[in-house]
Amino acid sequence: MMAHAFEALRPALAYLPPDEIGVIEEAYEFSRRAHEGQFRKSGEPYISHPLAVAGILAGWHLDAQTLTAALLHDVVEDTPATAVEIEARFGKAVALLVEGVSKLDKLAFASEQHAQAENFRKMLLAMAQDVRVILVKLADRLHNMHTMGSMPPEKRRRIATETLEIYAPIANRLGLHSVYQELEDLGFHYSYPNRYQVLAKAVKAARGNRRELVEKIKVALQDKLEHCKIEATITGREKHLFSIYRKMQEKNLAFSEVFDIYGFRVVVRDQPSCYLALGAMHALYKPIPGKFKDYIAIPKANGYQSLHSILFGPNGTPIEVQIRTVDMNRLAESGVASHWMYKSSDNALNDVQARTHRWLQSLLDIQADHGDSTEFLEHIKIDLFPDEVYVFTPQGKIMALPRGATAVDFAFAVHTDVGHRCIAVKINYDLMPLRTQLRNGDHVEIITASNASPNAAWLNFVVTGKARSHIRNHLRNTGVEEAAALGERLLNNAIAALNPEASTPEPAVWERVLKEYGVQTRQELFAGIGLGRKLPLVVAHQLLHVLGERTGEPAHPHAISIRGTEGVAVELAQCCHPIPGDPILGFIHKDRGLIIHTHDCASIRTFRADPDKWLDVEWEAEPGRMFDVLIKVVVGNQRGVLAKVAAAIAEHGSNIGNVSMDEEDGSPYTVLFFTVQVENRMHLARVMRGLRTLPEVVRIFRIKGKKDGRAVSTQ
């Protein structure tokens, strides 16, 4: 039966020369023999899948190399056939396309998320070399989505989610509008089958109820255009299900409140006729203010052009109208594939190619900065935006950015160096903060300085993958040498403070300490100290300890003083919440620095087996900060008791950071939990004594941590 299957494809290939059809038929035979005996989950012979993918691509009028690659795209992975064999028979270009489309080799990844991210990176890099790779991949995904019925529900949901998050947005980004809508609806169907069925039923019912109104509006539009002597073809357009669902979710609407389920597409002869038709529409039905978009003067990033307007129709019903030329309509449906569908010198098609190339190049720029596939995927998902704002450079050039983009995103979009050096921005000739979100039509001018550099705070508001990627990369690499130099000075000072008579550590001492900290070089250890990740006194203690073992010198005659304000290099343990005045010990953690515990902390018993990691520490006399302490107060159930307790805490110079209580259990007592801020143990004692004087307070405890979800406390 499958021997004749190619004949069903042959009519769709009529646009190709006979010799190219012959090569495609040869590829079909090669693939059919390679997949002999293989079947899909549905029970169909496996060759039905590559044949269907080739059929989809033939519908887009793609070239013979792409169709050949489509027929062979699973051969290398799933059959004994090799890439070398494909290159020998069908040429290097086809072999490269097949390699780009092939699924990720069966490697052992740390997680499913990492595997998906690595697969996506591989696909995008191949796509950047030849955009036909993604066209084959999209056709492959489209057919798989149509034939997922025989798969287990969990696998269907996973593939549907991936389709909604990655493949549908890519189709939209490349201007493949019909593919985008179909992938979204199929993804919706398998992700939320019940919601899909309910919504599909509601739309079908509404279609019958509104048919008469839609026909009436269509006739009115046609009559108006004929009266104005404008040649046009009008078609009714129904919103696809996922876009209706998304609108209901985003705007919290019921289905009955979504009026623009039906719209009208008006296709005219040329660009001037678009604006004439728009005038005729606005004369017939009043436009809704703020709902007009001119994508002809300012095309979308994927090349899409059209006039959009929402009008007040009969009975106040909103009507969406799209007006475009024949070429614009073709481009809207086929996007980047139009380059192969219609061999034309049309500037619009060339522009789509240029926009696509720029976007793909930006993907290469982002991936060059990242070894982490998951982070790369995060940045790319940000860039697969469905909606844009359009702003102007000082030279009048139009730039498209995702909605919510800021001046910093704009700066990096202009050029990486502009992003690195930006210090201020003028929006519409007024100085504005760099975090300002851009709006359609803004005139944006970036002010730079040669000595400026990216700020970590920018990561809180940038939205484009390119900006986020470059800022993170700069912060990772910047100032490492300066930090290392600072770290070395701090370490030398710390050694001198602990033991001024200590001899210079020899290489063997350094080697052991570097191994304990999990770093390769002294420079790396110095940089960690300079950046505040490691406390110089702790590293000095380790060095002197190892040195003392080898030479017999006293390691550290004095305990290390702790203020509690050292930042990331010192951490107060969450298991016991130490405060000044508590007897304390320090535990050396190679990644987290020095962790301070109270002497009676239960965690100490766990780590006592490694005494080299513990060192004596003491509080400085004036720590200069407030510390959080958890206290538990048992009070009698009386009106206003919470206010009295809070007032008593405030009277003794303590702030309340948080308060909660146990659920009512019918007893005459209530348990209150306070996080209070104190300077030291003496201050805490004063607060607790003040609370004990209240007649409503029955008992009071300091909570040192939690065990099995219950508070562990000391009185």
Residues taking part in catalysis? 77-78
Q: Residue 175 corresponds to which amino acid?
A: G
CA–CA separation, 528 and 546 (whole Å):
20
- Residue 624, sorted as left (phi over 0), alpha (psi -120 to 50) or beta, turns out to be left
DSSP 581-617: TS-EEEEEETTTEEEEEETT-HHHHHHTT-GGGEEEE
CA distance 67 to 139: 11
Burial grade of 632 (CB within 10 A; 0-12, 13-18, 19 or more):
middle
Contact 54, 71 (CB under 8 A): yes
Neighbouring CB atoms inside 10 A of 492's CB total 12
Q: How far apart are the first and last CA of the chain?
A: 85
Give dist(CA 715, CA 694) in Å, integer: 17
Rounded CA separation 528/540 (Å): 13
Work out whether strand 570-572 and strand 444-448 pair parallel, antiparallel, or are unpaired: unpaired
CA dihedral 106, 111, 117, 120 (to 10 degrees): 30
Q: Are strands 593-598 and 232-238 parallel, antiparallel or unpaired?
A: unpaired
Helix ranges (H only) for 35-63 are: 48-59
- Round to whole Å and give the CA distance between 686 and 260: 67
Structure tokens at 318: 């909103």
Cβ–Cβ under 8 Å, residues 281 and 234: no
